Amino acid sequence: MDFTDRTALVTGSARGIGLEIARLFYEGGAEVVIVDLTQEGVEAACKEIAGATDDERIAGFTCDVADPDSVWALFRSVKHRFGKLDILVNNAGITRDGLFARMTLESWKKVIDVNLTGTYLCCRQGLALLRKSPAGRIVNVSSISASGNIGQANYSASKAGVVGLTKTLALELARYHLTVNAVAPGFIDTEMTEAVSDEARKFWLDKIPAKRAGTTTDVARAVAFLASGDASYITGEVVEVDGGLHVPKQFPVRTGTEAG
Ligand SMILES: NC(=O)c1ccc[n+]([C@@H]2O[C@H](COP(=O)([O-])OP(=O)(O)OC[C@H]3O[C@@H](n4cnc5c(N)ncnc54)[C@H](O)[C@@H]3O)[C@@H](O)[C@H]2O)c1
């Protein structure tokens, strides 16, 4: 996909899905802003993508997306370095899983702060630059857990909030030629899912119609499409990237095949 003359910022891009999204933008010719919590993380990502840290087309900034001052400083740095922003991908996210009956207020707030308030803050601070783009794009990373998942009350609520925010911004920002969409990944192989037990992993793989976990590239390609010129009339949409996991339960029918 061609991203020549586009400037793209991806939060949480030191590793995992965010790193792969940033790589696709870079390979498509974009100026790329890597954003993550640590200096080592953003430097390593810039080096991995561009092969050198002095490449003019890539810049790494540390930022905690849950911290309003940090986000304000990030977009000031982006303005100073590139003077514009065309694509914002809100990918930074965390989990703090546990059954609701034992969920602490701290774990609830932490997840909401990073996943939902972090997305709000970046959209809010990025808007001044994005509005000036002739074809601005916001792509938010939600999750199929947005519709509920045992042990993820905090995470599900945060990702459902991201969907509501996405749809509302799509309505409010269309007048600025800005599209706002989301992707909802299913079970994707990253460090986030490495924490899942072998038993839980087997459970999910059995449930996925495609019979495999997703890759970071599977998700990054969907994000890149929504951020591209080809998706200019798509806004307020949530694209599930999950090998069919979200499709409502199917019941066996007598087809003579294994279907169902
Ligand atoms: N892996 C999956 O199966 C899966 C499924 C559905 C949705 N997602 C979502 O995809 C996104 C990326 O997930 P991943 O699997 O690549 O996770 P990951 O843990 O591998 O990477 C997340 C990145 O975000 C960064 N980050 C965390 N908190 C931050 C903060 N406050 N400020 C800035 N950066 C921060 C981390 O340092 C890390 O580099 C997340 O929003 C996640 O919720 C992942």
Nearest to 226 by CA among 58, 45, 90: 90
- Amino acid present at 98: G
* Residue at token pair 């199917």: 250
Ligand 1 atom closest to 141 (CA): 41
Ligand 1, atom 21, residue with closest C-alpha: 16
Cα separation, 174 vs 201, in Å, equals 40
Task: Please state whether the predicted TM-score (pTM) of the whole model is above 0.85.
Answer: yes
The C-alpha angle with vertex 134 and arms to 133 and 138, in degrees rounded to 5, equals 55
**pLDDT tens for each residue of 12-46:** 999 999 999 999 999 999 999 999 999 999 999 99
Q: What is the CA radius of gyration of the chain?
A: 18
Expressed in angstroms and rounded, the spacing between residue 93 Cα and the centre of ligand 1 is 4
List the beta bridge partners of residue 238: 182
CB of 65 closer than 8 Å to CB of 41: no
56: exposed, middle or buried (C-beta count within 10 Å: 0-12, 13-18, 19+)?
exposed
**pLDDT tens for each residue of 176-228:** 999 999 999 999 999 999 988 999 999 999 999 999 999 999 999 999 999 99
Cα separation, 62 vs 222, in Å, equals 26
Expressed in angstroms and rounded, the spacing between residue 12 Cα and the centre of ligand 1 is 6
**Structural domains present in the chain:** 7-241 (3.40.50.720)
Ligand 1 atom closest to 90 (CA): 41
